[in-house]
Structure 1
Amino acid sequence: MNAPVVVHSIAPDGSLLAVTATARARDGRAEVKCNVPDAPQLARRVQEVVRLARHTEARYDARTQVVLGLDRAPPAGCRDWELACVLADRIVRGAWQPARSPAPLVANGWSDAWHLGRIDGHALGAPPPGVLVGGADGLPHLGALNGHPDPAAAVSSARAWFPLHSGGAGDALAWVEVSVRPAGTAGVEDEDSAIAAPGVDAALQARVRAVLAGARHFDGRGSGEWRTTVRFGESRFQGASFELALVMADRMARGREFLARGRLLATGQSSSWHAGRVETVEGLAPKCALLLREAAPGDRILLPRAWEGGLAPGWREDIRARGASVACVERIGII
């Protein structure tokens, strides 16, 4: 076990919040473990931030577990501790070393896109001397820690939309976004840590990983080559009709699919993505009605081949009249 590392962050009341990080052999455990007194939900957010920030590293050794702890829970709405957690994680693993100083490092910063390495800003009005802050007036991105280019330049992102049917006014299109970054010559050491889906429950995270692993296996390429972040515009939904949209967003982000002039709208699932098969989902009539309402010029709509015989008369023509196109598919590929 490595010696603990402590990084401080200035809380809104001016006191110091301490982040302690310890590294040890992983031995099959989670790659990041977090503890925040009386705040389990915040501990999960710490884990999410650290995991996403790791996706920007040129090489990540998955054999190490890092245990992160905050000495107390910060006030509700405070996010300036995020940079301190990311830096503590990097220092304890030897991924970055700050300049030697007799006092612990103090860092304040937050980001809405840690998977891009971007640091959006900080909440300190006038940072005290020696405090590392994130944003335009301090550290704009994580690559700057080691004098590297902005890691966002190596990230490719794509979105696809899928229909959410709840049987009423809540019917809407939801988006899923896939961001991929090359894993480098060493490849992905651990598939679980290479695919992150922040903000969703464990069951959906597991399904996302299984779907992407299967679809990339069908590709014959992509497995072990990418660090991947999957984000959903709506995190609370049921069913698996998002799967085809997820697969297509991943293929577009990896340059494996032609792009539509507008958006890509898709619904479908599969019990065998490794074979590239697209299977039917429930809700043909309401979902098609929703797709017709939302279709815009340049959009491309993908439906399961099993739906082809059940489409309402004139539905395809109405879609084309809106300037969109539609295809009923039974397999993924160059669609």
Structure 2
Amino acid sequence: MNGHRYPAGLPMPAVCRTTLRDGRVLTVTATVRPRADRADVKCVVPGAPALGERMAEVVRLARLTEPRFDSRVQVVLGMDGVPAQGERNWELAAVLADRMARDVWRPAAGLEEVSALGWSEAWQLGRVDGYDAPPALPAAPPGAVLLLGGADLPHLGALTGHADPGAAVSAVRAWFPLHSGGINDALAWVEVSVSPLDGAEAGEEDTIAAVGVGVDAAVQQAVRQALAGARHFDGRGLGRWRTVVRFGEPRFAGDSYQLALVMADRLARGREFVPRGRLIATGSSAAWHAGQVDAVAGLDAKAALILAEARAGDRVLLPAAWGAALPPGWIDALRAKGASCACVERIGVI
């Protein structure tokens, strides 16, 4: 069933069960309530806050494959137990409980009890890769349905007889230098996944989510503001996309990732030419709505890191303010490795 349900009082919770590798049965419960400026998803696993964060990430990624978006409700999910380290069968159960709570999906009439086992390496594509087999599969008595990830349920579209939803998702990564002052310096990636949005009932920022354990509220807000501003400058990006942002390394400080973020978003939406190799960028902005690219700190260390890590085909974008301050011979050394570089003042004219 498609659509949304907004009861006046407390709604009945949606329940989906899962079975772990050791045979334990866990129950995932999802309840809808008015959002009231709270997070769109709240996950509670007593004694395991990191698992709660991971559950919220799974649910948000899977929502990317839904054609409609509504920000008026919060879904609260919880489990009545704690899976062992590395257990993942609960992932499909959490996704389905979330969808049942919002009436995005319901099992066929007469099937009131749902059990699901499954996990995915790419929930943002709607893919269900498989499940970890328990000693014995739970029985499916009359009035119950058992869903197994993988061969039986290869993707979330199969729940409603639709095509693979991953075909409608465009996901692109860009890289940025992550400088920590030592051996841990590295090129980190930011990935933007977009899917067409049908009838958004929210502002642009509400359709953008940054997910991942360690991505805090400040980063969430900065990501939303940067993309919403850059899309305003783009002139064609507003109100058309459901967006999920992931970071390869979510724990960092500063905003020098923002140019890479904005460029990954433009590439995902088909607004830029795709480079032969990676797109590596650093830069921030006080006015993304004007397309402006500002300088960031750490020029020498970041330039050295980019030069050391660059490969043939890579495209490097730096703030225009860095152009005259780059070390002598840096651009020639980069080109000798088969990479290219541009120092840009604005996006859209790269």
Q: TM-score scaled to structure 2, two decimals?
A: 0.89
1:108 has 2:123 as partner: no
Is the 8 Å Cα contact of residues 194 and 244 (structure 2) preserved in structure 1?
yes
- Which one of the candidate residues 120, 126, 141 is aligned to 2:155? 141
- 1:195-219 CA-partner distances (Å, limit 9, x unpaired): 1222122221211111111111111
- Which one of the candidate residues 60, 69, 85 is aligned to 1:76? 85
| AA partner of residue 126 (structure 2) | G
1:22-171 matched pairs, under 5 angstroms:
22-101=31-110, 104-124=113-133, 127-128=137-138, 130=140, 131-135=146-150, 137-171=151-185
| SS state at 1:293 partner | helix
1:177-326 matched pairs, under 5 angstroms:
177-184=191-198, 186-187=199-200, 189-199=202-212, 200-326=215-341
| Residue matched to 2:12 | 3
**Higher mean Cα deviation, 139-148 or 203-212?**
203-212
Is the 8 Å Cα contact of residues 188 and 194 (structure 1) preserved in structure 2?
no
**Higher mean Cα deviation, 247-256 or 233-242?**
233-242
CA shift, 1:47, in A, is 1.9
| SS state at 2:211 partner | coil
CA distance in 1, matches of 2:22, 2:112: 20
Q: Could you tell me the percent identity over the aligned residues?
A: 62
Is the 8 Å Cα contact of residues 51 and 193 (structure 1) preserved in structure 2?
no
Q: TM-score scaled to structure 1, two decimals?
A: 0.93
CA distance in 2, matches of 1:170, 1:34: 32
- 1:117-150 CA-partner distances (Å, limit 9, x unpaired): 1112111156445421111x22111111001111
CA distance in 2, matches of 1:259, 1:169: 31
Is the 8 Å Cα contact of residues 127 and 133 (structure 1) preserved in structure 2?
no
CA distance in 2, matches of 1:81, 1:225: 32
| SS state at 2:181 partner | coil
CA shift, 1:290, in A, is 1.6
| AA partner of residue 301 (structure 1) | V
CA shift, 1:281, in A, is 0.9
Is the 8 Å Cα contact of residues 20 and 132 (structure 2) preserved in structure 1?
no
Is the 8 Å Cα contact of residues 70 and 200 (structure 2) preserved in structure 1?
no
Aligned length: 333
- 1:242-268 CA-partner distances (Å, limit 9, x unpaired): 111111111111111112122111111
| AA partner of residue 123 (structure 1) | D
Cα RMSD after superposing both structures: 1.8
**Higher mean Cα deviation, 264-273 or 46-55?**
46-55
CA distance in 1, matches of 2:57, 2:37: 19
CA shift, 1:80, in A, is 0.8
